[in-house]
Structure formats: structure tokens, C-alpha cells
A and B are shown apart, each in its own frame.
Chain A
Amino acid sequence: MSAPAKIKTDAPPASIAEDFAEALRLGAFSIIALLLAALLFSGVIGPLFALGSVEETVTDVLSRLALVALPFVAYIAAASVARRCAWTDTPRALGLAFASSLTLFLLISAGHYALDYGVFAPRPSLQMSLSQTADGLRVDALEPGGAADSAGIHVGDVITAIRRDPVDMAAFNLRLSQSEADAPLRLRFLRAGEEMQQTARVVIVSDKQLSALLPGLAVALVFTAVIVFLPGRWAPYIALVGLLTPLLIGYIWVIIATFSFRTEGLIPLDGQDNFGGLTLENWEAIFVGNIAGLEFNIVPILLTSLAIAIIMTLVVLLVSSMAGYALSRMDFPGRRFFLSFTLILHGFPAITLLIPIFIVLLRLGNIPLIGDLIGFNTAGGIALVMVAFQLPLGVWLMKGFFDNIPWDMERSALIDGASRWRAYWQILLPQIRPGLLALGIFAFIGGWNAYIIPATYSIGSGVSNLPVFLNELIDETAPVDWNQVAAVGLFQLIPIFIFFIFAQEYLLNIYAGGAKGSS
């Protein structure tokens, strides 16, 4: 008999020591990788930009982000080993995770200690300890010969303000941490009921207290435990929510602000800085036509906005679809040139054309009859210019949609007895309805939100649309009431919301080609 073939069975479960070693290895790799990344941004890419005299802070931010993320990535890497048995052998998983994250935490902290970084970094200080009392910050202890001591502060003094700004503990620490070495801080304080002030100069101390590690340790352990038991399919959502939060907060602020007297962050406040102060006044002001003393009538502004958007939508749809049809279906001299030319036009920066068009519109305005329709200071003129800028995109988009319709469909219509015009109108246009709708919405939104062109070609006239009005609101009311500006902004968004709610299915279709063939 030949030697029995060695059949590889399932690997025996790794011992705890092996798992621990693997977790540490993964953690160490992540630390090295992120250190290298930070080095790459701050040491290589940053200097390269600097060589070209490019002022930027992105590389610096990225480098610091890498360092902030470093411990967390290391914990995740280490916890990934423990996750394997998170639900089968929970105590083992927890033990493994805590042991490895603790080890990594100590490793990172040792690095911080050696390099004077993180919690061990030298920080600005006035060399005294404070406690919050009802009157202010009471000085509990002073370092003899320290910054506060030499400024003449005594134990028992109650600090109420830095310069003229009243401070509590958080504000004081914030102010302090933002100060540079030797910066003067003029402290107002009460000594035996008497108000006094002294200027202390900030010193940079490096005291390296180990107790500063405790919050970090707690974070490490909790974070690791969460990672070990987090269902894997939640991860993308958590990442997305994390990334979206800043955006969402912006929208939420706008909505809250329009309904409140004033806001502190996302919290609506009333006149006495108490929670509350919810009001409809911001909205009422739009319709009454008086915002912070600026009197206006919203109806003509709204109508101008609507006129520009609707004219633009109709003209863009009509011209684009007809031009797209011709470019897709007909062969005529200059077709290729026209196609490439429109593409160049699409890429042409509109801003550079503002002044030439200004002159054109002025001259157009001098023509009788037509001038009143599409000249300078008319909604028609503004729409005309906007249409011109929107058309290249529209023509290309429509050409693409027509290209997708089989030739046979059109031939069939012609043979059935339709004229070419009728085939276009009755047979081809219905096939590209999703494209028309999408382009129409783009055009409408473009017209509705237009600012630069309406602002340029309606100077000093009553013709102003909502975005231009919004800008006037910020310019001409002092002080600016941001809550009312937010209300006008949200008011402007309403038609867009309505459009999207009804049309999102079609809008999404624009990238799916649109035409649903019969075969």
C-alpha cells in the first residue's frame, strides 16, 4: 500500500494566543499604513504643492485626519479577528478584543508620550486650577511662580470674564486652548466682592499626566466592543450617515430656522434665549412684503421667476428635440461641424460672454416691438440668453435619445402614411418622453434658480426673480435676518420639491436610455 494521501481537513481552531498575535499584527499594519499615509500627505504631496506656490490646506487636513483615524482603524483591524467568534464564543471574543485593543492603545499612547503628541502634547496654560461656581470660575489652586501667580491672581478669586466676554468653564478652556505662547489674557475677576482685572500671559506647559489617558482608554474599549458586535451589513449605512450628516444638518437648519425667532445651532430660541420661539412670522413676512424694513411685493418676483423658467423649459424642449431629431436622423452639410461646435459651446464658460451679450441685449431692446419682448431688462431677454446656454446640452441629450430609437419604427410610420413631421410628433416624441421630461426639469430648475444672468440683465429694473431678490435681501437689510433669508430660500425650493416628487421616476430613467423597444 502506498502512503495514505494527506487530506487537508478544516484547520483546527486557532488558539487564543494565535488569534491575539494576528489581531496585534493587523492593528500594527493599520498603524503603519496610516502613519505612512499621513507622512505622504504632509511630507511629500504638501511640499510638492508648496513648490508650485500653491496655497492649500487639504494635504494638512488629510494628514491630520489620518492621524485622528489611526487608533480607530487599528481597533477595527484588531476587532475583526474577534468578530469571527463574536456570536459563537462571546466571552472569548470580548477578551480577545479588549486585550488587543488595550495593547494597541498602550502602544499608541507610548508613541504619543515619546513624541509629545496627542494628550501629551504641550498645551497653553495659566498654571492654576479652577472650579465652576454660580458667580464664575473660582481659583482653587495656583502653581507658585506660574503664569497666574505672577499675574497677581490669588486663590479664592472668582473669574467672570476674559476682557469683556463673560466665560464659563468651557468657554474659558476653549479660549485658553486657542491661545499662543505669551499671549495676554486680561482676566476680570471678583476678589472679596470687588471687581478687578489683571493680565496673565499664557505659557506652554508639558506636564504629561497619565490620567489624561483615561478618556482615550474608555473610548477604545467601548468602540472595540461596538465593532465586535456590529452586524456587518450596517457598516455601509453607518459610513453613509456619517458622511451625510453635515449636509443633512444644513437642510435641517434651514427648515428649523424658517419657523423660529432665532436659532442657536439647531435649537430654536425665543427672545429671552429660552427654548421655543417657534413662529410663522418669517413666512408671513414674505407674503406681507416687508422684511426688515425692505418693502417688496412677492407676486411680480414670483411671476418673473416663473416666466423665465417656463419660457426656458418650453423653448429648450422644442428646439432641442427638433435639433436632436435632425442631427440624429438627417444628413445635411455641416452636420458633423455643428455637432462638435455645440459640444465646444457647452464647455464655454458663460461668464466670459456676459458683457458681449449685455451689449447685444441693449441693442435688441432698441428694436421696436421685439425689443419689449426680448430686450434688456425683460424676462424674455433673460430667458433667451438662458436658453442659449442650455441648448447645447439639450441638443446632445435629445440626439442621444433619438439615436436609440430604431430606424424601422420611423420607416414604419412613414409607410403607414405619416408625413415626416407627423412621425416625429406622434411616433418618435412619445418614445423619448422620459428624456423630454428630464431635460424639461433640468431646464425648469436652471431657469428657476438662475442668478447670474437675471442679475446682470435686469439691473435697476423691477424685473427680478427670486434668487436675485434673495441676494438683495442679504445686501440691503441690515442687520441681516438669516431666519427670514432661510424662509425665502425654502420658499424658492417649493416648486422644485413638487417637481421632483412627481417626476423622480422619469428623472432616474434618463440614464437608463429611456426608449423601451418592442422587441
Chain B
Amino acid sequence: MKVFIDQLTKKFGDVIGVEDLTLHIDDGEFVAFLGPSGCGKTTTLLTLAGIYKPTEGEIRFDERVVNRVPPKDRNIGMVFQSYALYPHMTVFQNIAYPLKLKKVAKAVQHERVEQVATTMGIGNLLDRRPGQLSGGQQQRVALGRALVKEPDILLFDEPLSNLDARLRLTMRGEIKHLQKDLGITSIYVTHDQVEAMTMADRIAVMNGGHLQAFDAPDELYSRPKTQFVAGFVGNPPMNFLSVEVSQAEGRYVAQAAGLRLEIGRERGERPASHAGAVVMGIRPEDIQISEDGTVAGEIYIVEPLGREDLIDVRVGRHSFLLLASTETQHHAGERVKLSFDMEKAQFFDPQTEKSLLWRQ
């Protein structure tokens, strides 16, 4: 089922939850809403679910406008962060509850619950109560309850954030696999950009109630359209600094105190035509420590991450985070030379924070 959100605004009194949000989701697509706390992603999700009524704008499931349709008539399934299982019911009763409300025959209920429970690997837990289950098991029950009524749309509200890191990894894969198998249009709210990047077909990045970008993960990563998206997507985060980009004799140069970097023509043209300073962004993996580097700096701190080291290098009054292989031992205070892969650099207008390279 396709989901169309058109110019959706939701206000709570004077407080704005989301404002002027337009988003079209394709049938069977897995979309993540990504953003920091309070960015409006959960508000949008609950509006889709019918818990909140839109203040303005329109929500359509395929051709049907659902603005005023109560949740029970939307045929959606939802998984909550707190799982929201009913503690006074057994696992079986929990999963069967949506079917019971639909007045599905008892025998069919049994069959469907068994089937879902087997898929979720909780077939042996049907007689227990939620209080007797571990977090991961509760999560599976919640997922089973959302799936059992064969919904048109699946909504996830940070479903993995209460699980431990290892379990989160497993469940991430399982949910994605299940979604692809069933082909149900899914919307997944998270503040964890790794979850969004790994699971979603497209990611809607939100901030302060506004949509910042809506793109495929690799697009967001390599062609961020706003500075917020560039900073929010990617871990460790992108380095930002203010530079002047100038053109002399057909060569483009980004300059800041103690820093002079050459840029190719393709990347340099647009920032150079922008009057005054621009914000340059460069990801940690695009900076290397090398003998033939052009920028001299001093290592401020080294954080071993296991597979690689996260190194904070100070160049003048700028600070750069970069990733270096653990083969060479680095230590704080060491003087190093850095080489920048300027073909991966991003440039943003400091006023509008929009990308100078990629137009929206």
C-alpha cells in the first residue's frame, strides 16, 4: 500500500510537532524516520496510526484519505519501544487480541497465532505472560501481534532501543528480512542512524518538526543536501569548518587559517562563486595521515575503536576527527601530516545551511 503525506502539520496547542511535511512512500517500501529526540518523527508516526488527528494537510493510504479514520479501521500494525504488551494476558492472548477484535473464528485465530509465533520463534512461549519474558522475547511477541492481522502498513517506534547491543543487531536483520519477505509497506522511527542506514530503502531525516531530506541511505551519505543531514548521518560525524574558496588560474583552492587545500574543478566551481565564507564538511574516513600530506597538525587524542583508531588532530584552531588504521601506533602530541580527499568534500551555505553542490 502506498502512503501519501501531503503538507502535514500537527500542533499541540502552540507547540509544533511537525510542520508542512510532504512525503510519498511506495508500496512495499521500508522507510526510516531519522532524527534527534523531539524532531517530530514519532508524532508523524502516531498521526499515520490515527492516534493523533492532523491539524492541517492530508494523509492518504493509496487513494483513500484517512485523516478522520479511527486507528482500528486503518489496518495497520505497530510495534512500540516499550513493546506495550498487555501484562494481564498470556502471549497467545496478546497475539490473538487483534484477531479477537476482528471477530475472526476461534479456530482460525489459533492457526494464525501458531503460524506467526513459529515465524517469530516464540512458539514455545505462548502460555507465558509478558512479565516472564526477556526483552528480546517481548519484542518478538510485540512484532507477532503487529503482524498477525496481516496489516497493510507496519509502523515501528524505536522498537530496538530497549534491547542490548548484540540482540539489536540480530533483531535488525530479522526485521528487515521479514519485511522484505512479506512486502508490507513499513515505516520505522529511530534516532539511531546505523539502524536507519542498514535497514531502510529510503530515509526521511527530520529536525525540529521539518523534513530535512528524504533519500536513499547512500545518497544521504554521499550527497547530503543540508548541513544537518551531513552532520547527522555518518558515525563518527563529519568535520565542519569555515573556509574561503577562491579561483586562480583555473585552480580552485579552499583556505582557512593554517590550511590550504586544492579542489578539483567539478567540486570547486560552485563554492567559489559563492560570495564570502562557506562551510566545508569532510568525513573522518576522507582524511588520511600520510608522509606526503599537505596539512601539518598535532594529535590531540587517540581513541582506539578496535578495528581502527579515532584520532582528533588539531590544525591551528581547527580540530579534525579522522579514522586511522591500527597498524601504525599514534599517540597524543605526535606531529603528523594530513592529506584530504577533496573529491569527497561537501560545501554548505553558512546562512541557509543548504548544500552548494547538490540542489534539492
Contacts and interface: CB of A to CB of B under 8 A. Distances in A.
Please say whether chains A and B are actual partners in one complex: yes
Nearest to B103: A417
A273 B324 CA distance: 103
A406 interface: yes
B130 interface: yes
B85 interface: yes
Interface string A393-434: 000000000000010110111111111001000010011010
Nearest to B75: A417
Interface string A428-455: 0011010000000000000000000000
Contacts of B77: 415
B129 to A, nearest CB: 9
A274 B157 CA distance: 80
Contacts of B74: 415
A406 B74 CA distance: 22
A518 interface: yes
A422 B80 contact: no
Interface stretch (B94-102, B246-254, B348-356): B94-102
Contact of A518 (B50, B70, B85, B98): B85
Contacts of B49: 411, 415
Contacts of B92: none
Contacts of B50: 414-415
B84 interface: yes
Contact of A415 (B71, B83, B102, B162): B71
A265 interface: no
Contact of A519 (B71, B78, B138): B138
Interface in B86-108: 86-88, 97-98, 101-102
Nearest to B74: A415
B84 A409 contact: yes
Contacts of B332: none
Contact of A431 (B88, B135, B145): B88
Contacts of A517: 82, 87
A416 B98 contact: yes
A233 interface: no
B173 interface: no
Contacts of A336: none
B82 A518 contact: yes
Interface in B4-54: 46, 49-51
A516 interface: yes
A220 to B, nearest CB: 59
A408 B81 contact: yes
Nearest to A519: B82
B88 A430 contact: yes
B72 interface: yes
B102 A412 contact: no
Contact of B80 (A408, A417, A516): A408
Contact of A417 (B51, B83, B88, B102): B102
B76 interface: yes
Given A408-B81, A408-B82, A516 B97 contact: no
A427 B86 CA distance: 7
A412 B84 contact: yes
B131 interface: yes
A517 B130 CA distance: 9
B101 A418 contact: yes
B138 to A, nearest CB: 6
B140 interface: no
A406 B87 CA distance: 12
Contacts of A415: 49-51, 71-72, 74, 76-78, 155
B225 interface: no
Contact of B101 (A409, A416, A433): A416
Nearest to B89: A430
Contacts of B83: 518-519
Contacts of B72: 414-419
B87 A411 contact: no
**Interface on chain A toward B: helix, strand, loop, or mixed SS?**
helix
A433 B88 CA distance: 10
Contact of A412 (B70, B80, B135, B138): B80
Size category of the binding interface on chain B? 20 to 34
A473 B86 CA distance: 53
A514 to B, nearest CB: 11
A412 B138 CA distance: 14
B149 interface: yes
A411 B81 CA distance: 12
B105 to A, nearest CB: 16
A468 to B, nearest CB: 41
Could you say which of B50, B71, B85, B155 has the most chain A C-beta atoms within 10 Å of its C-beta? B71
A260 B240 CA distance: 94
Contacts of A433: 88
Given A415-B78, A416-B98, A427-B86, A518 B131 contact: yes
Contact of A408 (B84, B88, B102, B130): B84
B86 A422 contact: no
A416 B97 CA distance: 7
Contacts of A411: 46, 49, 51, 71, 78, 80, 84
B138 A518 contact: yes
A409 B83 CA distance: 8
Nearest to A406: B82
B128 to A, nearest CB: 12
B130 A518 contact: yes
A496 to B, nearest CB: 28
A422 B88 contact: no
B165 to A, nearest CB: 18
Nearest to A420: B70
| Residue with the highest number of chain B CB atoms closer than 10 Å, among A419, A433, A518 | A518
Contacts of B51: 411, 414-415
Given A414-B51, A414-B71, A417-B98, A516 B81 contact: no
A417 B149 CA distance: 10
Interface in A472-519: 516-519
Nearest to B162: A519
Contacts of A414: 50-51, 70-72
Nearest to B77: A415
Nearest to B135: A519
Contacts of B149: 416-417
Contacts of A422: 101
A416 B145 contact: yes
A518 B90 CA distance: 12
Nearest to B157: A408
Contacts of A516: 87, 131
A516 B86 CA distance: 10
Contacts of A431: 87-88
B98 A406 contact: no
A416 B70 CA distance: 11
Contacts of A412: 78, 80, 84, 86, 145
A331 to B, nearest CB: 9
A38 to B, nearest CB: 56
Contacts of A519: 82-83, 135, 138, 162
Contacts of A418: 72, 101
Residue of A408, A422, A427, A433 contacting most chain B CB atoms (<10 Å): A408
28 contacts: A408-B80, A408-B82, A408-B84, A411-B49, A411-B78, A412-B78, A412-B84, A412-B86, A413-B97, A414-B51, A414-B71, A414-B72, A415-B50, A415-B51, A415-B72, A416-B97, A416-B101, A416-B145, A417-B71, A418-B101, A431-B88, A517-B87, A518-B83, A518-B84, A518-B87, A518-B138, A519-B83, A519-B162
Pairs of residues from A and B, 9 with the lowest C-beta to C-beta distance, nearest first = A417-B101, A412-B84, A408-B84, A518-B130, A416-B98, A430-B88, A417-B72, A414-B71, A408-B80
Given A408-B80, A413-B97, A417-B98, 7 more contacts: A408-B82, A411-B49, A411-B51, A415-B72, A430-B88, A516-B87, A519-B135
